[in-house]
Every structure is written in structure tokens, then in C-alpha cells.
Amino acid sequence: MSTFTNPLKQRFTEPGTLFGLWLSLGSADIAEALAHAGFDWLCIDMEHSPNDAHDVVAQLRAIAAAHLPSEPIVRVPSHDAWLVKRVLDAGARTVMFPNVESAQEAAQVVRLTQYPHGDALDGLRGAAGAVRAAAYGMRRDYVTMANAQISIIVQIESAQAVANVEAIAGTPGIDCLFIGPADLAASLGHLGDTKHPEVQAAIKKIIDTAKQAGIASGMFALDVPSARQYAEAGVKVIALSADVGWLLKATRQALQEARA
């Protein structure tokens, strides 16, 4: 098997739920420690967390150092080509794009992750040899193998995206529709109320569409009961909260018990 093989891309189509965790504290030490916990994936968040390009590289190294099957995902903050290129050159194999609202946008983010290959939807990724992803130039076959191993997750988090979700799901190269419930609720006019029936109906539509398209769906769960509920509903990729959430929950509980 190639050392470039992305196990998460393969597992998206296999049975079973893939549980992961959000990395929002910008700490390589925390990333390495949590990689030992046995999660299927860990998401390095650049959108709502203070992670820059150097932080991403440090956390990719830290996760790899655990020598366990936690595959890193990097959520970029935008669809800017230069930023996507940096993340891929750093060694990310799975990239999450926020707020994709149409099939055209979905096709564009796919192109941003692909080296040019001479067809109608040619890739836009710039080629450079001495990058971490290619072992700093030591693995010459990286550029010929990378396209097939890049996995793309798009977030569905607006009313417009839900209206276009079938076309987005059918875009070649898209592996997972990850639901952003908070932004979706706000877009539907129910800010702060992800349990509103209209929001729940939209979530169900996204999950069902992903199933029909033969791709994965994803969701952020705030707690274990919610994670179990999503898994039973057929959600494939589930975030079991975030590093900062578990840190605060455990420490606050311990403090309350000590004071009692």
C-alpha cells in the first residue's frame, strides 16, 4: 500500500461510524495526546480558532508522532487558493471547506486541491517539490499520486446550500457533507435554536441526500447522547465536541466535586 494512501477517504465508504474531535486550542501537545486516545480523526480548525499555517504543521507532525490511525482533517477558513495550497503542501490529505452553497462552489474547491491533469475541470493546485507533503522533495512520485488521495469535506450551513444540496452532493470529488447546525439555524432565521423543526428538517434532508449520493454526512455533537443519536440517524462522521469543551467539562466537574 502506498504511504500516500489516505485511510479516511477509504473509510468514508465503509461500514461504521467515524468519531473525531475538534482541535481548537492551537496546541501540538494537545493534538499529540488526543491522537493517543483512539479517535478516527482529529480536525485542526483554522476558521474559528487561532491556528495559523505554522500551528497546522506542528499539529500534523504531532498527530503523526502518535503512530495511531487518527487521520488529521484541516478546516480552512475560506476558499482562497493560496491558503488551500499551503495546507496541502504542509501534508494535509483531508480538507474541510466552510459554507459551500452551490455545485459551482463545490467544483471550485475540488479544483483547488488538485494538481493540473488536463481535463475540462483542470486542477488549480500549484506544484512545488520541496514541501513537507512530498518529504521535502525526497518522494518524487507525490505529485502523480496526490490527487487520488485528497479527500474533500464541504460544510452545508445555509438555506442556500440546503436548496442546492443534491447538486453539491453529486459534484465529483466531494466525499462528505458536514452539517454546520449553528450557522444553518441562523440562516434559516432561528439563531441559537438548532432544535427548531425547520432546522431539524434541513438536517435530515442533508443526511438523506448524502446517503442517496453514496457519500458520507458529518455532524458536530456537543455530547455523547447527541453523538449516539446522530450515529443512529446514519451520520457517518461525528465530532465528539472539542478539546476545549472536554478540558472545561472535566476540570469544572473535578473542582465542583472537590469543593463539595
Instruction: Report the catalytic residues.
Output: 48
Distance of alpha carbon 77 from alpha carbon 12, whole angstroms: 23
Burial class of 255 by CB neighbour count within 10 A (0 to 12, 13 to 18, 19+) = exposed
Rounded to a whole number of angstroms, the distance between the first and last alpha carbons of the chain is 55
The SS3 assignment for 73 reads strand
Place of cell 503523526: 64
CB 153 within 8 A of CB 85: no
| Pairwise CA distance, residues 216 & 154, whole Å | 11
Strand partners, 72: 42
Quote the crossing angle between the two packed helices 53-65 and 28-35, to the nearest 10°: 30
190: DSSP letter: -
Cβ contacts of residue 195 below 8 Å, gap of 6+?
none
Helix (H, G, I), strand (E, B), or coil: what is residue 227?
helix
